[in-house]
Amino acid sequence: MFNKFYTTQMSGSAKMLQKRFTEIRRRRGRAARLVAAVMSAVMAVSMLAATAAMAAIGSDGLEYWDKDEIYLTGGMSFDINISGLYVPEYLKTDVAGDDGNIHCEVKNYDYRYTDGVINCKGTLSLSGGRGKLTMALQDGSYYDGVGLDTDSETYKYLTDIKQRTGADKLTDLGYAVTDTTGSGTEGKLGCDSSEQTHWVTLFFAIKDNRCTNVIFSFAGEYVLTSELKYVDIGMRMDSPAVKNIAMSGTMEDMVTDFNKMPYYSAKFFSAYEQDFYKNLSIEGFNVDIIGAGENEITVRSDVTYPGIDGVWVKVYNDENGTLMSQNISPTAILHLAVNEHYEKGKTYRVELAYMSKGNIVYRWQKYVTVE
């Protein structure tokens, strides 16, 4: 059985149709791969016409966001052809022309709301001779062959992909168009709506920690039977060959590891800030790491700023995997323990977000090596 974790709102139909694969976590790519993508982020903000704006520093020295911010972190492009294939009818009537060609564009975003919280977002655009359809990212996941009933259709489907591609494991990104994906955040990213929910799942074959193949799948494409049961017909459909693959930004790094796949758990620093953000020196916030051992990381949290009602804590390992994500009381000393011990010689990133009435009023991060 696969688990899913979400903090974004989805339509009832999308929730009902979710049948995805395993625990997912979103992490950013290596800093060295971000330099070229920074310029793309600026372009993305302008092109999206979402009136995104960088945080403003108020008279009290704190950061404020009066508009949503959108950061393009990476993506990919490729081509498929659906001529003569068993695929969803909407691709033939609304997207592909008579030649069957469809050009596909994936874009990944960090999306910061005015409360200071960032969620991971993404789109998949399908363009052909009859039109264009932009679907919204729903999830990302990981599969290594463990945890499924071996008699299940899903197990057989994923096992077949692994065998055909020679993959050690699979990661995937699921995209959907629903009756609500054209509104709200997804609408600002250019996503379309449809009365009929449709799914596209991109599988990434991972071998020796490299992406060696991409499979275009309709897994998750459901129909409602006369018995009022949802049946996945997508796994029985043909998978068009993926050609002319080009990845950019953090895309390739992201799909190689489930720790780097997108998930809808909020974070405080965008991919561009995690290695370059300088903590603000603000009266009322005296925060620092005062100890780092195998059992816990200890943080001095001497905060006199009025109205703080909680501290959202995140601890990441050196592979950007989330070890801790918890909202705790703003005590003077924070004892950050994780399920497993911290490892000597390893470097961890600690992020704190001080919350007041649902908004981040101060954020802080630091790297620490356990001695």
Q: Identify the CA nearest to 170 among candidates 240, 250, 255, 86.
A: 255
Look up tokens 């979103």; give the residue.
26
331 close to 315: Cβ distance less than 8 angstroms: no
Read off the pLDDT of residues 246-292 as tens digits, 9 standing for 90 and up: 999 989 988 987 767 776 567 899 878 888 899 999 999 999 999 99
pLDDT of residue 132: 98
Task: Average the pLDDT over 120-141 and give the result.
Answer: 94
pLDDT of residue 177: 96
pLDDT of residue 349: 95
pLDDT of residue 220: 87
330 close to 86: Cβ distance less than 8 angstroms: no
**Interatomic CA distance for residues 114 and 360, integer angstroms:** 9
Read off the pLDDT of residues 301-356 as tens digits, 9 standing for 90 and up: 999 999 999 999 999 888 877 888 889 999 999 999 988 899 999 999 999 999 99
21 close to 144: Cβ distance less than 8 angstroms: no
28 close to 271: Cβ distance less than 8 angstroms: yes
Read off the pLDDT of residues 55-98 as tens digits, 9 standing for 90 and up: 667 777 788 888 898 989 999 999 999 999 999 999 999 999 99
370 close to 348: Cβ distance less than 8 angstroms: yes
**Interatomic CA distance for residues 91 and 112, integer angstroms:** 32
What are the CA-CA distances from residue 16 to residues 20, 182, 197 (Å)? 11, 18, 10
Residue 129, pLDDT > 70, answer: yes
pLDDT of residue 44: 41
Look up tokens 């994936």; give the residue.
106
Question: Cα 355 to chain center, whole Å?
Answer: 23
| Percent of the chain topping pLDDT 90 | 60
Residue 23, pLDDT > 90, answer: no
**Interatomic CA distance for residues 234 and 179, integer angstroms:** 19
Q: Among the residues of the chain, which ranges form H helices?
A: 12-17, 35-48, 89-90, 153-165, 184-188, 251-255
Read off the pLDDT of residues 144-202 as tens digits, 9 standing for 90 and up: 666 677 788 888 999 999 999 999 999 999 999 999 999 999 999 999 999 999 999 99
Read off the pLDDT of residues 37-46 as tens digits, 9 standing for 90 and up: 333 443 344 3
Look up tokens 């096992």; give the residue.
159
Which conformational region is residue 176 in: left (phi greater than 0), alpha (psi within -120 to 50 degrees), or beta? Answer: beta
**Interatomic CA distance for residues 196 and 230, integer angstroms:** 13
End-to-end Cα, the chain, rounded Å: 39
For the four alpha carbons of 47, 49, 50 and 56, in that order, the dihedral sign comes to positive
**Quick count: other Cβ atoms within 10 Å of Cβ 30?**
11
Q: What are the b/e assignments for 70-103, b being 16+ CB within 10 Å?
A: bbbbbbbebebebeeeebbebbbebbbeeebbbe
Q: What mean pLDDT value characterizes the chain?
A: 82
pLDDT of residue 7: 28
Q: Amino acid identity of 284?
A: G
